[in-house]
Amino acid sequence: MATLTLPIRISMPPNEHPFTYGSSKNHANHQKVPFPNTKWRCSATNQPQPPPRPRQRQQQSKSKKNASDAEKGVDPVGFLTKLGVSNKAFAQFLRERHKSLKDLRSEIFKRFLNLKELASGFDIMGMQRNVHHRVDYMEWAPGARYCSVVGDFNGWSPTENSAREGHFGHDDYGYWFITLQDRLRDGEKPDELYFQQYNYVDDYDKGDSGVSIDEIFKKANDEYWEPGEDRYIKSRYEIAAKLYEQIFGPNGPETEDELEEIPDAETRYNAWKEQHKDDLPSNAPRYDVIDNGKIYDIFNIFNDPVSQEKFRNKKPPLAYWLETRKGRKAWLKKYIPGIPHGSKYRVYLNTPEGPLERVPAWATYVLPGEGNQAVAVHWEPPPECAYKWQHKHPEVPKSLRIYECHIGISGLEPKIASFNDFREKVLPHVKEAGYNVIQLIGLVEHKDYFTVGYRATNLYAVSSRYGTPDEFKHLVDEAHGMGLLVFLDIVHSYSAADEMVGLSLFDGSNDCFFHTGKRGHHKFWGTRMFKYGDIDVLHFLLSNLNWWVMEYHIDGFQFHSLSSMIYTHNGFASFTGDIEEYCNQYVDKDALLYLILANDILHALHPHIITIGEDVTHYPGLTEPTSQGGLGFDYFVNLSASEMWSLLLENVPDHDWSMSKIVNTLVDNKHGADKMLLYAENHNQSISGGRSFAEILFGESLEHASDKKASLLRGCSLHKIIRLITFTIGGHAYLNFMGNEFGHPKRVEFPMPSNNFSFSLANRRWDLLENEMHSELFSFDKDMMSMDENERILSRGLPNIHHVNDTNMVISYSRGPLLFIFNFHPMTSYERYRVGVEEAGEYQVILNSDEKKYGGEALIGPDQYIQRTISKRTDGLRNCLEVPLPCRSAQVYKLTRILRI
């Protein structure tokens, strides 16, 4: 009968806790018997251990994965733990999303070397000048059966420049490859060197010395090779012949039948060594084999140290090879460019739905054509004409004062302004106003001007309405020279639905760049929704972000309307505030993974890049690190503030304004409030069918007001204090739309059929800066920006809001050594209003909205600008100030002298 032996492990107690014999009464008289501190194993343990159960294996592998993530500092629910939020459903969603991200990365790395390659598609896609006197064109159109490039350079022929058959013309992923060869000029002969290269841009002035290829090769032989080193290069068969003669002798076999059995390598080597044992050392080989009687020793090579060092120091003759490259003049003399600079072209696709002509998806310059069909322009200016960068990226400031702009409406005249107009006239104004960032909207190429650029058609092209790519580079460079960062309002949340000029039905199929069915269309805006789960779509979008940084030196991005992409209902749903609404079936996990990859890649490739997320739903973790379960944005936009101000100005009487509501809306969420971007009004209030604050305050009401002076005073006062409290109470970033700093009185209305394509409201009235009222408002805004520059208000910690009085309509808070006091009451002024302060001392007014130079009444005299604290506990603080407080005014006090009590 067979016996069963179990692998039982027996553990004995350690010697720190020995057993004792005898009773507890006389244990001191007895010797302790220690046992060694080891674990004993019976003989049965010599048997092989059984494999762990499947559940145990899963737990072990799971623990290993968790351990590896922990070692890298990755915690998919880290920000929930930090905020003390406990929600099983959302935590599980974050863990599943993290697993999906790892799976996505694995799929990406099967096709791309790294994430940088994934985000650098512009290096190979579209038109690319090749050093071998040709242009390579690559396009992604998986639904096409045939692909060619048509344009004015080939008479718009769909057969002259087409993709070849086979792998080099079309791969399994749907990428098409076409070469456009340069043509020899009349009387010119082909290059002597088959792989002749040319310098088109870099070092374009080199290589035109007239030195021939033979002369360069002779120079290389004379300078690079030592005597005898190039012997086997000149006679490539000599080594093989010598080896054959060594093995078989001078009359060796000539056929396979004559070939006898060849001894093994060791036998042949020993025989050769014995034969040459008496040779002089100078005739000995540089290398020898050490044989210690072991089989593997035959592979131990003994090397001459001198020759080894000499070989290592020998650099490849790349310099001579680069010298064979010819310059741009030699290229233009011999060749006619296959596609000259400025040529118009499109991509021709034969699809199951029939032939199509499309503007290439990676086109960098697009011009509107006749009808709905636009054309791409091959932008390859001569290097002597191409723009050369003069300035580096400015350092990223600790606080962002963003000036939001639209190039087209930036001019005074009722027409589309250009890059050059903006550079010459608007940039100096922005610098004078004290802002440190310009944010451009409507810059990417779009078909319809009235869409403000939010229905982009060509994501790699600047809008040709404003000028050329080089003119935009000049604008960015000039801004950098002034110390201004340049941000781009990027729209990757949807795309134009136009088929002739955009990406919709690009290759004839409905699922190339976008989802099919209802999910592929925005529910209300009629735009197309990207298919973020497709690696090729990710390749296109992520490369687009990197392209703007690499090509145009963009310093940051504001991602427009994230709610349109994060949710399948496009954000048009009622939110109750339940956290499970952020992880239910309406959340597009692929879109979230794209945002995580976008932030990870941008911050890895460009450490100083700034990303801003605009999401009306305040998705949890928007500005948290991706390693802690967040989406990785640097800032988020508080969209509620501007909506609140518009509601109060248009619908609520002045005396009914709630101070508590104002503070709660502006502060928004305490968690991550330092990463909040605030604005009183941006382009939405002026463009999207609404009215700017100045139009509400100074518009039609002034024409019918019985007391025009009082109406102007009310409008100016509210305009100033609204902007001041919005500027100073929020996070590290503030935004203002172009012209609103001086109270631009009219809204923006782009030319469209409803206004008979009029440009009368599609401009900015810079001439109003000569007007007294508008000049005073601009002075206040400029001093507000200067105050942040000098006192570093936005970069300080969050404000301590200690006084909010709805009855008196007064708000007060401190931020560092600064004290801000606002009186929103329309009628009541206070001679000695008491507010609390923590530090005892003297406080001096550094900004007063009621000063004459700002259009105020100057009710606070110069002798009242310095106030000393009173030792009386107020607002929960140890001291207080009694300050004059005119109605509809605000003052900023600074602690200038500390009193020790």
Which sequence positions are flagged as catalytic?
Answer: 614
**Residue partners of 746: CB distance under 8 A and separation at least 6:** 692, 695, 761, 765
Residue 565 · residue 493 · CB < 8 Å = yes
Q: If you ran DSSP here, which 8-state letter would residue 627 be given?
A: G
Residue ranges of alpha helices (H) inside 568-658 are: 589-605, 640-651
Produce one character per residue of 877-897: b if its CB has 16 or more CB atoms within 10 Å, e if not.
bebbbbbbbbbbbbbbbbbee
CA–CA gap between residue 242 and residue 234 (Å, rounded): 15
- Residue 122, number of CB atoms within 10 A of its CB: 19
Between strands 635-637 and 676-678, the pairing is parallel
Cα dihedral angle (329, 333, 338, 341), rounded to 10 degrees? Answer: 50
Structure tokens that stand for 299 in this block: 């592979």
Assign 156 to helix, strand or coil. coil
**Residue partners of 670: CB distance under 8 A and separation at least 6:** 798
Tally helices (H) and strands (E) across the chain. Answer: 24, 32
Assign 111 to helix, strand or coil. coil
Number of alpha carbons in the 13 Å side-chain half-sphere of residue 798: 15
The three-point CA angle 481-483-487 to 5° equals: 100
C-alpha closest to that of 697 among 717, 721, 667: 717
Backbone angles phi, psi at 448, to 5 degrees: -100, 120
SS (H, E, C) 28-62: HHCCCECCCCCEEECHHHHCCCCCCCHHHHHHHHH
CA–CA gap between residue 584 and residue 285 (Å, rounded): 75
Q: Rg (Cα) of the chain, in Å, rounded?
A: 38
Backbone angles phi, psi at 344, to 5 degrees: -95, 140
Structure tokens that stand for 895 in this block: 């602690």
DSSP string, 600-622: HHHHHH-TT-EEEE--TT--TTT
Backbone angles phi, psi at 14, to 5 degrees: -75, 165
- Residue 736, number of CB atoms within 10 A of its CB: 24
CA–CA gap between residue 506 and residue 139 (Å, rounded): 11
CA–CA gap between residue 470 and residue 507 (Å, rounded): 30
C-alpha closest to that of 556 among 603, 591, 597: 603
CA–CA gap between residue 415 and residue 875 (Å, rounded): 55
CA–CA gap between residue 568 and residue 116 (Å, rounded): 29
Helix (H) or strand (E) holding 109: helix 88-109
Structure tokens that stand for 333 in this block: 């003399």
Backbone angles phi, psi at 781, to 5 degrees: -65, -40
**Residue partners of 435: CB distance under 8 A and separation at least 6:** 401, 402, 403, 484, 736, 785
